[in-house]
């Protein structure tokens, strides 16, 4: 055993060969990255555009929780997924405001009085795929006439 750059290096013997392993480092991958299984797990299953967090049961949030939540919201924002908060109580909202939670990419526009309102907003922003609705003469918009 010897010290090596902020970690410890161990020599492992399995009887036939000797392998050096360092703390904090993963050993070289021994699997085929182009396997069918790997490709299956890397393909996106659906096009997620929004996440709604139900804050109805939340009655307290500390600074660490607020920072973690803001970090998650920013990370999802970077990949095009919006995170909304529904059902946030007044006390939690006051705590978040006091901690300057609503700044930058995270704004009060991401808050909704209920989870239902947040879901309706998400559905309005990105309608679910499906067959186009049949229109008749009475349902025309002024732009179509």
pLDDT for 62-109, tens place per residue?
Answer: 999 999 999 999 998 888 889 999 999 999 999 999 999 998 889 999
pLDDT at residue 135 greater than cutoff 70: no
Strand-pair partners of 12: 19
What is the pTM assigned to this prediction? Answer: 0.57
Q: What is the pLDDT of residue 15?
A: 57
Cα-flanking dihedrals φ and ψ of residue 27, to 5°?
-65, 160
Q: Tell me how crowded residue 95 is: count the other CB atoms within 10 A of its CB.
A: 20
Closest CA to 81 of 53, 113, 41: 53
Note the Cα 64 to chain centre separation in Å.
Answer: 18
């Amino acid at each position: 055993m010897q010290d090596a750059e902020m970690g410890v290096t161990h020599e492992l013997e399995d009887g036939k060969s000797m392998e050096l392993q360092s703390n904090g480092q993963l050993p070289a991958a021994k699997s085929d990255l182009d396997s069918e299984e790997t490709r299956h797990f890397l393909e996106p299953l659906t096009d997620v555009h929004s996440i709604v967090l139900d804050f109805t049961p939340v009655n307290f949030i500390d600074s660490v929780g607020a920072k973690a939540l803001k970090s998650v919201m920013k990370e999802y924002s970077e990949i095009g997924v919006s995170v909304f908060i529904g059902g946030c109580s007044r006390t939690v909202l006051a705590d978040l405001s006091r901690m300057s939670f609503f700044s930058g990419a995270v704004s009060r526009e991401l808050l909704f009085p209920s989870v239902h309102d947040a879901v309706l907003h998400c559905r309005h922003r990105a309608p679910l795929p499906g067959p186009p609705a049949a229109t008749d003469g009475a349902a025309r918009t002024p732009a179509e006439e």
